[in-house]
Structure 1
């Protein structure tokens, strides 16, 4: 790779090579192209330097250190790629700007908040139309299964297996697929929605399970916008580190509630955690264990269990 190539060309070559072997790199691609424009605006010539990488990583509207750390972690694979063509390229060491694994505490929904959300969704306009049923069922499914919003929106009609009471989640995060067993009440709610959808849209050709009133697959921007409208109506105040409750917090709440029930019923969480991790699509059980330290109610239950355990240990 020659220095005469623009940084944008180098990024595009890298993204093409990575996508050819299956990596999507959507957000990473956007950030790397932003880095290329940054380098070109500064008239950078020659191999990528540590100084250039640091300047871009720290050139953000966000003052949070984790933002710069995440930017640097996006750059590192690209810079390693460049180094094979130019040994003078300076690859930043891992964790140069700190860890990227710090996670803000999510909003944990109370049962009455979830009920209020579904009731408000059912009152959306047009009254009696498909839109209220779509969003009521959509948000209800996330609350009942802990699925990601992207997974729910990608569900195809064939992925909802009513007879077996199972969903097929295909090629989700980290390109993993999995089966999601459903409670009978969730199956019934999905069946009601499917019947109503087919009644309103008998000629729809889109194979997605959730459809807009125009017969097209829902997109995440419309779902987020509708959720924001309902959130403002309900007047929720965030409990956590985010400015406002999010759709994704329904997933967090599902995981938290599972763990709370297990601790309260004296279930061996170490044995059950792998099943929960698989169910919600976590790659590592440590991602699920994180909730124990993030949610005060869980920490209190863990402390109580440890206290009982400590009292049972005989003194020497």
Structure 2
């Protein structure tokens, strides 16, 4: 039976229930007919207003039609209302602008700059433009309790906010706020999503379009992040040495990963047919690199054609690559280098989803 994933979200100050599922025409038509269901054009997701008893109503409506996974749906206190935050005054805007320039000069990535800039802006707006020199650690504790936790934001979001605010105040002198005693939240232990080799093969073989198949195959065969694939240039493929050079990826690092004979053959076939001029994968009518949105669409089309109903993302292919390497006996240190992880602890998470050791464990059920 087809599955829908229900999660909490907010539209402005209004709590809503997100309805997520891999694209399926029949399922989409079923969801849109649920009373009060709306489509968010920015977030690209279906949603309904959160109300007490709404889950029971949905369970009754979708009974026998779709399975509802509401494990991540939490109860919301509807009595809570959140006031609109004031706009920043001119001086604080200038301070944040200087902070942004400092991060750019330090070569922080564009996404990190935006995340930290927005985090500081929200914090200062919450404090209603309180002068920076008067801000104390108690202000941050109140912000954490009354803004982040009250809205049910995730631990990862809280961690990003903490990082941004700490960095902002580290260069300030003569202030009451001490960034060194602000602690990050306990990190949630979430296992990576992994596909079986059979599922990966079905997804990779689903496209007849040579470019689409080549992109998905290269992500899996080299364990690439989405941005790493899109930033690849023709010169990054060293066919003589059978390696792929990934330049200035996460953490501003270069790394080299091996190219299998099978993927090299596919890339040669792709190159002869499409003749890219600069980037390995370029847009349909442009020499610029292929867009992120189009790449995500390629995966969605593959899932529809393959019939796989899991909410697969491009990063699942990277997780699957690492796990399958581990299950074949590849040393964890080598996997760390291939993925570009700074710490071996990051790579060790794949030991928790590998079934190589689990399959050797005897179950007492077999003796019954």
TM-score category by the smaller chain? 0.7 to 0.9
Structure 2: any 5+ residue segments left out of the alignment?
A: 1-88, 363-368
Q: Give the corresponding residue for 2:14.
A: none
* SS in structure 1 at match of 2:257: strand
What residue is the counterpart of 1:104 in the other structure? Answer: 190
1:118 and 2:204 matched: yes
CA distance in 2, matches of 1:225, 1:116: 17
CA change 1:284–1:38 in 2 (3 A) is: closer
Distance 1:45 1:254, change over 3 A: same
Aligned to 1:46: 131
1:113–1:55: structure 2 CA closer, same or farther, 3 Å change rule?
farther
Is the 1:39–1:52 contact (alpha carbons within 8 Å) kept by the matching residues of 2?
A: no
Structure-2 separation of matches of 1:25 and 1:103: 27
Higher helix fraction (1 or 2): 1
Partner of 1:284: 343
Within the alignment, does 1:64 sit opposite 2:154 as a pair? yes
State the Cα deviation string for residues 173-205 of structure 1 (Å, max 9, x = none). 11110111211111111111111112xxxxx65
Structure 1 residue 10: Cα displacement: 1.6
Aligned mates of 1:31, 1:56 — CA distance in 2: 16
Q: Report how many residues are paired.
A: 268
Output the TM-score relative to the length of structure 1: 0.75
Classify 1:23/1:65 alpha carbon distance in 2 versus 1 (closer, same or farther; 3 Å). closer
State the shift of 1:37 in Å.
4.6
The CA distance in 2 between the partners of 1:150 and 1:278, in whole Å, is 18
Query: Is 2:332 the counterpart of 1:273?
Result: yes
Q: Tell me if 1:95 matches 2:183.
A: yes
Could you say which residue in structure 2 is the equivalent of 1:261?
328
Two-structure CA RMSD over aligned residues (Å) = 2.7
User: Partners in 2 of 1:225 and 1:73 — Cα distance?
Assistant: 32
SS at match of 1:172: coil
Q: Is the 8 A contact 2:115 2:164 kept in 1?
A: no
Please, which runs of 5 or more residues in structure 1 have no aligned partner?
A: 123-131, 199-203, 239-243, 263-268, 305-316
Cα deviation, residue 72, structure 1: 1.7
- Within 1, Cα distance between the matches of 2:152 and 2:309? 23
Q: Residues of 2 paired with 1:30 and 1:66: CA distance?
A: 12
Task: Please list the CA deviations of residues 34-82 of structure 1 after superposition, one character each: whole Å capped at 9, or x if unmatched.
Answer: 5315523652221233344345556355443443233223321112223
Give distance in 1, aligned partners of 2:164 and 2:348: 26
Q: CA deviation at 1:116?
A: 1.8
TM-score (norm 2): 0.65
User: Is the Cα–Cα contact under 8 Å of residues 332 and 347 in structure 2 kept in the other structure?
Assistant: yes
Match of 1:246 among 286, 310, 313: 313
Q: Which residue, 264, 274, 282 being the options, matches 1:197?
A: 274
Question: d(CA) in 1 for partners of 2:138 and 2:110?
Answer: 25
CA distance in 2, matches of 1:249, 1:288: 15
- Going from structure 1 to structure 2, the CA distance change for 1:213 and 1:72 (only over 3 Å counts) comes to same
Which residue does 2:280 correspond to in 1?
A: 209
Deviates more, 1:216-225 or 1:163-172: 216-225
Aligned equivalents of 1:176 and 1:302: distance in 2?
A: 38
**2:226 equivalent among 149, 160, 167:** 149
Higher strand share: 2
Task: Decide which of 251, 256, 263 is 1:179's aligned counterpart.
Answer: 256
Deviation at 1:226, TM superposition (A): 2.7
- SS, match of residue 256 in structure 2: strand
1:236 corresponds in structure 2 to 308
Q: Offset of 1:21 from its aligned partner?
A: 2.6
Q: Work out the CA distance in 2 between the residues paired with 1:274 and 1:251.
A: 16
